[in-house]
Structure 1
């Protein structure tokens, strides 16, 4: 496909594989939800249609300037073939999964003894509680009820404890005792196994995996010895994608700054590896085939080292296509390579179709290839330095292409991403190269590895500084509707804005003036009138997803935190928005993951008094992990019993439950939830943890005073509730901390009906975001900050929830102050809402089909597109081939091939071109910058001396065609 630039220059874009790649992706997404019989029928129909289209096509030699008539049927046949192959493979996979012996066992549930082989490293899950991890595995044998079944490596998902699992390598054979369950959604895995203990090792991982594990461990250990805490966890993630030691707070800052792609190993890392390998070989003029072999071995080793995640495999596949082109001497085009990689990977690993990292990687690569060159040329024409223009174009193109996906996944748009990426770009390559060298040398020479790690630490520190400063910019991120609708909406907005600016250039100054006005006037006004936190706040229910985190501000910069939610970043962001720098008291209702996982982030960087819990079960294995977190923060844990009181600033806390006599080894942790009544400025708030109906009846029977104005609804709105307990509170407002689209069905319809019957107004974090109760006795109300960006999935799902980025501080509180609602019987309840063809006269370049007379001359072609993308008739090899080296890179000057041009111009009157179809034109040794200064090209670093000043004989043979 030919595309024209505004300045009249043109280039070629090979987009023949784009429809096929899009077809494969779309069909793969739908195949998991379609019957194998239907897929097989579609495959047969598409295959027959493709054969008919090709059979009916009658190619004829085209006239000059036109495509062959059979190219359009061939493109249609290619799409139909892609559809047929994808449907056929989907039908086979679906039938094999349905016939798997694991399905009836998973449907029945129960405990099994399984033998399996790990496919990935066990990865800690910060959102699933301390001490838990997730891993992928292939199931080889299943024993249940004395019956043993051999399997062919069915893929399963493992939820395991961190102890005894973290550190295991892919390829290790294990035997475990686990609870088996069916996956919640159709996909690649046939079952979900939940393991409670360490595995029994049956075999090792192999020498290659052990070597890769040793290299990864050596880099992590070296970073911990040499670098400070934030940089020590970031360097392994930057180099090999190992983020196990990365600070969760730093991860949130990278996400808010739009730099999270740096810790996801992808194309940039593979490009650096190839550069390190191929650069010395190219300088020594090694044959292209050996260059391709060395590059392939290096990419394969890096994939094993960095682990085959979706983005790594995509980058490796593109590198493989490029290396194959290098070995065969064929043109290397990025768009066909990207499409071929997408097709091959989706056919081999259908799970990549729903992987966010794969989608982001493909979108960013396509944008960099298609958009950034034109944008960079436009910036250079306007006087921007070349290096800065390239950096701006690449960052802007990648950011624009991935912004809709990021908005759909996280519900936010980073407004500081472009400047943050520009500031971070100079440090990425040095940190990655030095870190990779340190990883390779640390196992062999630890001293040299530590030195390289120390050197790599300086650019890593710069990345940490950029992320911290960018994330701290007020209004640096903007909330956006999450999901498919939000992504599609942002895509339409971006396309419309770009089209309007291109279509009507006069809008550009107006747009720039509007942007400057917003930054100069709107942003300062926004900081003054943001409306959050609300004055005289009594309590805030933070939007942290499927978990609890409540804050009671008790003074300037001070507050009490009740539970810490399931996500460290969201809890820390909520405290930051409220301006809480000191926590004199932290109350933990119980130790479930959705109440304590964010504790470390909440304590980090804040002055903390004491952390209090209720009576805990003596067999609770999570107590040591909690104590370790508190020791790291320099805080002691205390136990509060019923009747204890605490006075913190303007708030009073009274403990009502649990009874320490019920804290036995067999007690349910939810039944031991601490119940506290907090009173501030006369407004009473009842905090209930995750109480169930039985424990609520016991608390009610104990005679405790449960009267309150605001009720924190127990257990995120579970249907396991005692109606008498709710009625005894007499609350006017019920706060429910719950995640959107959670898999538990919270809040339950029965609970909502009970609350409505009691005349309570229900407010939910999944609908209103952060909820603030403000005012004083007799004059108080509720303010909703607006929907945040808390994760939607609930812990414990078949696919674990990804930690959501911190909620944006851009939303203005929607305050609805009002007096307490009347409690008259029968009073009404109030529920909250929710291809351009060439111009006439310009001949189409002939290529293999057209007339030679239709080819453009050298003056039309020169400088219009990169050499590796030029058609075969226009490509000129670089200084790597011997006969060119004699002409422009050798010690002697080349003889002139025509009259020298006039002194006023550098363009020769004639240039000798290779004969069409000659080996020199079709099989260059390598593609390097061109050597002839006389034709306006640049000097190649591969030349041993500057080229001839006017012209070169190219190639040194008389079998050439002179073009004038």
Structure 2
């Protein structure tokens, strides 16, 4: 994606034929993915019939009939290709064997770099590969009844392996044995879990080995520099952001800078642009410059890997390079349409890819929307400034509805953040690549250059961090059809009338000032937090973060949720400046990944954790985040007074700290369960304790009664309902994320609690939930209004 606004051309109009062909191809892919199979043929056929009928009645000119006919055929071609590919995967012998969980021996071509996974699901490695041959062992028989049957094919699989697979090389051919399992998506024939060691039978080709050497050199150029800049510099060149903390990723997402963490057309434009510039300096001219550019694109794809996202970025980057040439406006529009058409013919699955949609829309925004904004701003701003503002504005406008559909938010700082960050992206990318290339000669030559690149990136990190910390960096919008339709209409209106508004300095500057004030000045939330709040369940998404008021400006925090920014914002709203006690009920990511947000700008006196140190990824993250803070293990029977709050630990039973199985599967039932008493109320905070633990609690405390219940495990269906409904709770709080993939909370649990007389409040629907005390007992207030 080019970051320069293409010229419209002299007295020219856009040629919409190729862009419309690209749109038709996209529609064909969407029909194949989301509609019934017959729609792929029926919808284009109906369009073709309508065009021919209108043409026959002379209501549509012949060129328009021809165009409509071509568009129908394009949609049919892409939709048909998508169905054919899906059918090929579905009928693959591999898919059939996966349904039977067959034990097989395979020969694989490794098509993706190994990616380490850690945390909730045991440490391991994910590898994308293509099965060249599969055999069922003779001892086990085969589906066909012929022992030792084998097939030669080319089916895509995902290998879920142990850490020994971290050394497998992209482009190599390996053999192994393993068990096949059905995949979740339609793009894979199977998931393979190896049960034996892997063996390389064919080394990667020369270009893959050279690519791996350059990638290693990029990291060598920034060796010794601190994170996250040592990760981000290579990421700008090749999109490899592995190891980047969730905090930094959240900051980049909130400020609309996520595109910098992935392979994008901007990366290619900068890298190939540098190559072409060097070629010019060396005297290369004419068609040979095109050859150099094409070679640069191929080299970039090899460097960043031949994954769909990289091929998409290469295509969009090529569009950007076209836009920089003569008559860039018209040529770039045609090139974008051609790129979309070719990409969807090669991989129809891109039609449903969010990355593809964002990349295409951003490029289209720059090509078709940015010129109007640039020309309007030029009336009172210098040309360079006008273009710098127009590019991120147009790209962000074009992407806004899709971003909202993905995240449920509309960023208010994205344009400003991109405006501040973009001038540093180009030097960081170019210097990062140059430093890596020099490291191929000697590290002493490349590291000084890489260091300068990290200085540029450090500023970008600060832009993201400061922008994400603004009071209203993003607005929660929702993902319903009506909400997205309204946002699309508003986006189109801004795209159409925005340039008219900013053409004159007074309304243009006023609009910018209003946006800045809305973003920077905190908006009051009348009545929030409510006076005398005792407990607040923070709306942190799919996770837990509970706050117990223990004194003026201080609180006990129980769990930190999955997002540091969310829990930090909640504590800021509550005026919490000191946390005398932070309790982490267990080490799953949805309870501990936000720990850094609790510590951000606050004094934490002590941390209490469960005895089960599992999963290892969560344990390590907590240890790093709370370094220097005293940590102790909670155990049943302990009672402590923290300010206004009396805390009794009910579960787990005392035990020495110990490692678990490593996959987090037993972590829930080792959750710390607390009984909190404050201002005459009794509150039961249950973590994610499972039915076995709940049954043990019922046996140990048969007469337990409480006023407020934090429902275990986000309202999962796996509950001891006899215990939960017998507690006598008048308020039940479910901390849960909107539209989560787990079906939380289960309707059966909500209905049972409601029938038992509890008012059930949910953070996904009610926002932050506060508990206060009244003359008649507990009451709930929510950030969206009264709860009960």
Deviations 1:486-519 (A, max 9, x none): 3332120122345456789999967875775686
1:102 has 2:84 as partner: no
Q: Secondary structure at the match of 2:253?
A: helix
Larger helix percent: 2
* TM-aligned CA distance change 1:624 to 1:33, over 3 Å: closer
State whether structure 2 residue 22 is matched by structure 1 residue 26. Answer: no
Q: Which residue of 2 aligns with 1:386?
A: 383
Distance in 2 (alpha carbons) for counterparts of 1:74 and 1:670: 63
Change (3 A) 1:731 1:603: same
Q: Show CA shifts across 1:679-707 (max 9, x none).
A: 23332221222233333222211236532
Where in structure 2 are there 5+ consecutive unaligned residues?
A: 1-7, 143-148
Residue matched to 2:3: none
Q: Which residue of the partner structure matches residue 640 of structure 2? A: 646
The question of whether the paired residues in 2 share the 8 Å contact of 1:364 and 1:399 is answered with yes
Q: Distance in 2 between matches of 1:624 and 1:509?
A: 54
1:301 corresponds, among 295, 299, 306, to 299
- Of 649, 655, 660, which residue of structure 2 is paired with 1:655? 649
Cα distance between partner residues in 1 of 2:197 and 2:591: 25
C-alpha contact (below 8 Å) 1:37/1:91 kept by paired residues:
no
Distance 1:378-1:513 versus aligned 2 partners, 3 A rule: closer
- Contact kept, 8 Å, 1:655 with 1:674, in 2: the verdict is yes
Q: Distance in 2 between matches of 1:499 and 1:324?
A: 25
TM-aligned CA distance change 1:706 to 1:507, over 3 Å? farther
Give the whole-Å Cα distance in 2 for the aligned partners of 1:699 and 1:557. Answer: 33
CA deviation vs aligned residue, 1:390-429 (integer Å, no higher than 9, x gap): 1111121112111222122111112122222222222111
Inter-CA distance 531–81: structure 2 relative to 1 (3 Å threshold): same
Task: Kindly indicate whether residue 8 of structure 2 is the aligned counterpart of residue 11 of structure 1.
Answer: no
Whether contact under 8 Å (1:408, 1:485) holds in the other structure is no
Decide whether the 8 Å contact of 1:50 with 1:80 is kept in 2. Answer: no
Report the structure number with the largest CA radius of gyration. Answer: 1
Partner secondary structure for residue 719 of structure 2: coil
- 2:610 aligns to what? 614
The equivalent residue for 2:128 is 136
Change (3 A) 1:176 1:669: farther
Tell me, in whole angstroms, the C-alpha distance in 2 between the residues paired with 1:514 and 1:38.
Answer: 45
Superposed displacement of residue 460, structure 1: 1.3
2:539 — aligned with what?
A: 543
Separation of aligned partners in 2, 1:278 and 1:320: 13
Change (3 A) 1:572 1:440: farther
1:129–1:753: structure 2 CA closer, same or farther, 3 Å change rule? Answer: same
Gaps of 5+ in 1: 1-6, 59-67, 785-812, 819-964
In structure 2, the residue matched to 1:188 is 187
Contact 1:121–1:170, Cα closer than 8 Å, also in 2: yes
Equivalent residues of 1:541, 1:765 under 8 A apart: yes
Q: Deviations over 1:540-591 (max 9, x none)?
A: 2233333333233434554333233344554444445445454433323233
Deviates most, 320-329 or 658-667 = 320-329
Output one character per residue of 1:428-463: Cα deviation in whole Å (capped at 9) or x when no partner.
111111011112222331011110011112211221
Q: Partner of 2:111 in structure 1?
A: 119
Question: Closer, same or farther in 2 for the Cα pair 1:624/1:429, shift >3 Å?
Answer: closer
Task: Give me the whole-angstrom Cα distance separating, in 1, the residues matched to 2:202 and 2:574.
Answer: 53
Report the counterpart of residue 801 of structure 1 in structure 2: none
Alpha-carbon separation, structure 1, partners of 2:257 and 2:397: 14
Asked if 2 retains the 8 angstrom alpha-carbon contact of 1:129 and 1:597, the reply is no
Q: CA deviation at 1:160?
A: 4.9
Cα distance in 2 between the residues matched to 1:583 and 1:130: 31
Q: Residue 157 of structure 2 aligns to a residue in which SS?
A: strand
**Residue 467 of structure 1 pairs with residue 461 of structure 2:** no
SS of the counterpart of 1:646? strand
- Given that 1:50 and 1:78 are in contact with CA atoms closer than 8 Å, whether structure 2 keeps it comes out as no
Residues 157-306 of structure 1 aligned to structure 2 (within 5 Å): 157-160=158-161, 163-166=163-166, 168-174=168-174, 180-184=180-184, 187-193=186-192, 203-225=202-224, 227-282=225-280, 286-306=284-304
CA RMSD of aligned residues (A): 4.0
In structure 2, C-alpha distance between the alignment counterparts of 1:690 and 1:179, rounded to whole Å: 32
Give the length in aligned residue pairs: 766
Structure 1 contact 175–201 (Cα < 8 Å) conserved: yes
Question: Closer, same or farther in 2 for the Cα pair 1:773/1:476, shift >3 Å?
Answer: same
Q: Give the aligned partner of residue 366 of structure 2.
A: 368
Pair 1:11–1:125, CA change in 2 (3 A): farther
Tell me how far 1:335 sits from its aligned partner. 0.8
Residue 677 (structure 1) aligns with: 675
158 and 13 in structure 1: CA distance in 2 versus 1, 3 angstrom threshold: same
